[in-house]
A and B are shown apart, each in its own frame.
Chain A
Amino acid sequence: MQDQALFEYVLRLADDSLILGQRLGEWCGHGPILEEDIALTNISLDLIGQAISLYDLASELEGAGKNHDQLAYLRFENEYKNVLLVEQPNGDFAMTILRQFFFDAFRLPLYEALMQSPVAQLAAIAAKSVKETRYHLKHTSEWVIRMGDGTDESHERAQAAIDHLWRYTSELFFEDNIDEQLQERQLVPSLKGIQANWMETVKAVLSEATLTIPTNNWKFEGGRQGRHSEHMGYILADLQYMQRAYPNMEW
């Protein structure tokens, strides 16, 4: 192992992108309007692209000679380190958009900070992804506002999605000794600052959308340690199907 802590850190980023991209891919062909079908697919595509770059970097840091597909496809469930938020089911359009909004509002300041990282490859991935993420956040923010300030039904659906997903948002800022170590080495930013930035975005958008922030702050965590929700197994069953059924083949 070249750099265990940095490997773990990059893997977490990669898994977040992969699993959320995978979830969004389920929408393809089923969107509420053609334009949104295209937009959701586009976000999915960006996330899969980011995952490829991040897994490439992770595999280099691991130094075990695994390629990005082996990392993405051939681990066991408890070896995936994504947050629980991204594995939650698509639900209705409001649930998907709110899940994406919470994630984008976290990813944008994180990428902005990572652009300054002395780990050149990580900074490069962040610089490329920051543009995509800025567009995603703009898109999801607009929809949150539209739904919140649209009809009674859309308002209720959006609020219900917020109330449901809120419990998964604190995990976005989960830190353990991996983060501490890397922060000490000044390779990555503290998530405290990112969280403040996230809260500002969330408050501004929800207030414009006439939606409210839940008061219940009970936290759901575990993804970063590989403890997932019941949904994860099904996601992996689809994701890994070909690689498991036809091992060691090239596609």
Chain B
Amino acid sequence: MTQAEQERRFLDKIDREIKIEPNDWMPDEYRQTLIRQISQHAHSEIVGMLPEGNWITRAPNLRRKAVLLAKVQDEAGHGLYLYSATETLGADREQLMDDMHSGKAKYSSIFNYPALTWADIGTIGWLVDGAAIMNQVALCRTSYGPYARAMVKICKEESFHQRQGYESLMKLCNGTPQQKAMAQDAMNRFWWPALMMFGPSDAESTHSDQSIKWKIKRFTNDELRQSFVDATVSQAEILGLTIPDPNLKWNEERGHYDFSEINWEEFWQVVKGNGPCNKERIAARLKAKQEGLWVREAANAFAKKRAMKKSA
């Protein structure tokens, strides 16, 4: 089959909503785009463990401690699952991680913001997992089979995280004035970074067009961001929290909420590595990798010895 024919068959499958599977022919750029996007997602899950993990030892009661442990464990599972999806495309987990450590590969910039108070944990669950779901529900129908299937499983758990986060904030918002203030402060710090999670505006987005054509992405960044704002406003109202945007207003004509322009200067600075915690996050991951090296070597050496014994 000629290259042109293969490409036509590939596009035909995309058109007819037939999933692309690991052994199918695919354009190299499609493969690279997927590896980049899925690994970026995997890195986000792993780096995302750090701000929340830092509160496990300080969780205010045993039930919250258990819930947080379970949540962070889920995120590690998501990372594992997504790295496996990249492996179906011929990528190597270690190499992908090295690319993140070197700054070549990105992860969601939200995790470069610090988790300063207990209210941040609820807020991360509500807004950050919430924004992730908005992105990921759309990805459940993405054209690459293993990615789509991973998303279905992951989305279920993310919605659970979001509900738990919201429930935890509810407790604070119905608690003492001090607790309520803690929740509002978290809201003030996380609202804009959460909106930034959808990435640059459509006009600025370099990868969007082709990804939409290949049905890797189903909605644009701005569309998803708008859906998120529309869904979140009433949830904030129920909590009694104020969204830190004086221009947030229902627009009858558009049928959507209007909101202020994002501080793109801050967005690009954080993406470039100048967020409040970029250095700490990478340093923590690098340390885990380096200090874990002997463990991985031991496991390999042992496996080899046992295999030799068996064949002997």
Q: Is the CB of A48 within 8 A of B66?
A: yes
Q: Is the CB of A28 within 8 A of B60?
A: no
Q: Is the CB of B298 within 8 A of A150?
A: yes
Give which listed residue, A28, A32, A41, contacts B291 with CB less than 8 A.
A32
Q: Distance (Å) between the CB of B135 and the closest chain A CB?
A: 22
Q: Distance (Å) between the CB of B110 and the closest chain A CB?
A: 15
* Residues of B with C-beta under 8 A to A35: 80
What class of interface size applies to chain A in its complex with B?
Answer: 35 or more
Bound together, the chains give a CA A69 to CA B66 distance in angstroms of 12
Asked if A135 is an interface residue, CB under 8 A from chain B, the answer is no
Q: Is the CB of A34 within 8 A of B80?
A: yes
Q: Is the CB of B295 within 8 A of A52?
A: no
Query: Max chain B CB contacts within 10 Å: which of A25, A68, A147?
Result: A25
Q: Is the CB of B294 within 8 A of A29?
A: no
Give which listed residue, A29, A69, A146, A251, contacts B72 with CB less than 8 A.
A29
Asked if A1 is an interface residue, CB under 8 A from chain B, the answer is no
Q: Distance (Å) between the CB of B167 and the closest chain A CB?
A: 11
Give which listed residue, B66, B287, B299, contacts A52 with CB less than 8 A.
B66
Q: Is the CB of A249 within 8 A of B176?
A: yes
Asked if B271 is an interface residue, CB under 8 A from chain A, the answer is no
* Residues of B with C-beta under 8 A to A238: 57-58
1/0 per residue, CB under 8 A from B, across A146-161: the answer is 1101110110010000
Complex interface residues of chain B between 257 and 312 (CB less than 8 A to chain A): 284, 287-288, 291-299, 301-302, 305
Q: Is the CB of A25 within 8 A of B69?
A: yes
Q: Distance (Å) between the CB of B44 and the closest chain A CB?
A: 13
Asked if B100 is an interface residue, CB under 8 A from chain A, the answer is no
* Residues of B with C-beta under 8 A to A92: 291
* Residues of B with C-beta under 8 A to A25: 56-57, 65, 69
Q: Is the CB of B178 within 8 A of A41?
A: no
Q: Distance (Å) between the CB of B207 and the closest chain A CB?
A: 27
Question: A-B pairs with CB below 8 Å: how many?
Answer: 140
Q: Which partner residue on chain A sits nearest B46 by CB separation? A: A34
* Residues of A with C-beta under 8 A to B305: 149
1/0 per residue, CB under 8 A from A, across B151-182: the answer is 00000000000000000100110011011000
Q: Is the CB of A38 within 8 A of B77?
A: yes
Asked if A140 is an interface residue, CB under 8 A from chain B, the answer is no
Asked if B23 is an interface residue, CB under 8 A from chain A, the answer is no
Q: Is the CB of B302 within 8 A of A242?
A: no
Bound together, the chains give a CA A145 to CA B302 distance in angstroms of 9
* Residues of B with C-beta under 8 A to A153: 294, 297-298
Q: Distance (Å) between the CB of A188 and the closest chain B CB?
A: 24
Bound together, the chains give a CA A93 to CA B76 distance in angstroms of 18
Q: Is the CB of A45 within 8 A of B69?
A: yes
Bound together, the chains give a CA A37 to CA B46 distance in angstroms of 10
* Residues of B with C-beta under 8 A to A29: 46, 49-50, 53-54, 72, 76, 284, 288
* Residues of A with C-beta under 8 A to B116: none
Bound together, the chains give a CA A55 to CA B65 distance in angstroms of 15
CB contact under 8 A between A33 and B69, given known A26-B57, A251-B171 = no
Per DSSP, are chain B's interface residues mostly helix, strand or loop, or mixed?
helix
Bound together, the chains give a CA A157 to CA B294 distance in angstroms of 10
Query: Max chain A CB contacts within 10 Å: which of B72, B176, B299?
Result: B299
Bound together, the chains give a CA A52 to CA B67 distance in angstroms of 13
* Residues of A with C-beta under 8 A to B301: 150-151, 154
Bound together, the chains give a CA A26 to CA B293 distance in angstroms of 19
CB contact under 8 A between A251 and B61, given known A30-B284, A150-B298 = yes
Bound together, the chains give a CA A157 to CA B178 distance in angstroms of 47
Asked if B63 is an interface residue, CB under 8 A from chain A, the answer is yes
Bound together, the chains give a CA A72 to CA B178 distance in angstroms of 23
Q: Is the CB of B60 within 8 A of A242?
A: yes
Give which listed residue, B56, B175, B299, contacts A28 with CB less than 8 A.
B56
Asked if B70 is an interface residue, CB under 8 A from chain A, the answer is yes
Q: Which partner residue on chain A sits nearest B51 by CB separation? A: A29
* Residues of B with C-beta under 8 A to A157: 294
CB contact under 8 A between A38 and B294, given known A28-B56, A29-B53 = no
Query: Max chain B CB contacts within 10 Å: which of A29, A35, A68, A154?
Result: A29
Asked if A22 is an interface residue, CB under 8 A from chain B, the answer is yes
Asked if B198 is an interface residue, CB under 8 A from chain A, the answer is no
CB contact under 8 A between A33 and B171, given known A150-B301, A249-B176, A249-B179 = no
Q: Which partner residue on chain B sits nearest A235 by CB separation? A: B57
Asked if A246 is an interface residue, CB under 8 A from chain B, the answer is yes
Bound together, the chains give a CA A72 to CA B60 distance in angstroms of 11
Chain B: residues with CB nearer than 8 A to chain A? 46, 49-50, 53-54, 56-66, 69-70, 72-73, 76-77, 79-80, 83, 118, 168, 171-172, 175-176, 178-179, 284, 287-288, 291-299, 301-302, 305
- 10 more A-B contacts (CB under 8 A) besides A28-B72, A146-B298, A243-B60? A29-B53, A37-B76, A41-B76, A69-B61, A72-B61, A93-B292, A93-B295, A151-B297, A238-B58, A251-B60
Q: For the complex of A and B, list the 8 residue pairs with the smallest distance between their C-beta atoms, beginning with the closest.
A: A32-B292, A150-B298, A154-B298, A242-B60, A29-B53, A29-B49, A32-B295, A251-B60
9 A-B pairs (CB sep. < 8 Å): A146-B302, A147-B298, A149-B305, A150-B297, A154-B297, A239-B58, A246-B179, A249-B176, A251-B171
